[in-house]
Amino acid sequence: MNRMTPNRLRPSSGDARIAVVIPCYRAAATISGVLSGIGPEIDAIYCVDDASPDETGVVIARMAERDRRIRLISRAANGGVGAATIDGYRAAMAEGATVLIKIDSDGQMDPAFAADFAAPILAGQADYVKGNRFFSAETIGAMPMARIIGNAGLSFLTKLSTGYWDLFDPTNGYTAIHAKVATALPLERLHRRFFFESDLLFRLSTIHARILELPIVSTYEGAGSHLSELRCLATFPGLHLRNLCKRILYNYFLRNFSLASVNLVLGLLLAAFGFVFGVDRWIAAVASGVPATTGTVMLSALPFLLGVQFLLSFLAHDMSLVPRAAIHPQIARVRALSPRIVRVAGE
């Protein structure tokens, strides 16, 4: 469990309401411990039973009798962690929640720190806060080796597909988001299953949301995971490639066009030409037994090296665009001004 000292005092939030959303599947043995650990600073708890075949719903209903903050949402069919989380988000926002905190139901996360995740958002420092299990060597040492290797690879793919180059541990499910930011996202388009957290990061990047990470420690002893490393290896790279193409198209060609856009196009064309031409000439030289001339080698190497330089320049520009300021205050101002704007436009 997280070994930091939890802030038991409610964050300075004014009229803000903090809600916890817990997607639940096969959690009958663990959900009661998770719910019992949530502190009094949380206003409402939404447990989404994702058509679990065990008695998860029964346990939640029994806990709700003792804690009036707990709401049980039952799904008719299993939709995955993403679908269950979105149902919880919508229910919380419908009841006026300001910050939506997601915690998994498997008992690997310490729910006592939910308020710590809400604090940076309520202070206007971030739009989205996520956990990171890789801050301490002790945490990494307790983690299964397959997860360490898998998270390292997935983190790099996530950096490429989202543009958040300063983030790590993308599949971490301990998160918090401002409700105004959640309403600005196309929730219906988010991935419904285990790619949910990574897909959410991509959607946040399209609106330039500010993300902050907090160090956490998870418990793995006796806890199984529904997330399969083999399934991630088979499906996640293709999904990240799709999001990378969308992000580049949105941010560098549709919404904006800059020198970085030119660098990307020239870099891809030159590097591709140099590589393809070089491979073709190499095959021809091997087949004929006649070595390629110096001019032929230069005609391959020079475009390729120039292309790589253009691509590195593009990456440097992309890394410099990581959002540094929260956008939810601006979202509030735009919505407050929108009726006035409509009236002026009508006049």
Mean pLDDT of 239-256: 95
pLDDT digits (tens, 9 = 90+) for 308-345: 999 999 999 999 999 999 999 888 654 544 444 333 33
Q: Which residues contact 171 (CB under 8 A, 6 or more apart)?
A: 151, 154, 194, 197, 198, 227, 232
Helix crossing, 196-206 with 81-94: angle to 10°? 50
Q: Which two tokens stand for residue 328?
A: 């939810």
Residue 213 reports pLDDT greater than 50: yes
Q: Distances in Å between the alpha carbon of 340 and those of 180, 335, 343, 344?
A: 20, 10, 5, 6
Residue 222 reports pLDDT greater than 60: no
Specify the residue for token string 């690997």.
108
Residue 223 reports pLDDT greater than 60: no
pLDDT digits (tens, 9 = 90+) for 261-311: 999 999 999 999 999 999 999 999 999 989 989 999 999 999 999 999 999
Cα dihedral 211/212/216/218 (nearest 10): 0
Tell me which DSSP letter residue 305 carries: H
**3-class secondary-structure state, position 133:** coil
pTM of the model: 0.85
At residue 67's C-alpha, the angle toward residues 62 and 68, to 5°, is 110
Phi, psi of 34 (to 5 degrees): -65, -50
Phi, psi of 108 (to 5 degrees): -80, -15
Mean pLDDT of all residues belonging to the chain: 88
Tell me the Cα Rg of the chain: 24
**3-class secondary-structure state, position 72:** strand
Cα-to-chain-centroid distance, residue 188: 16
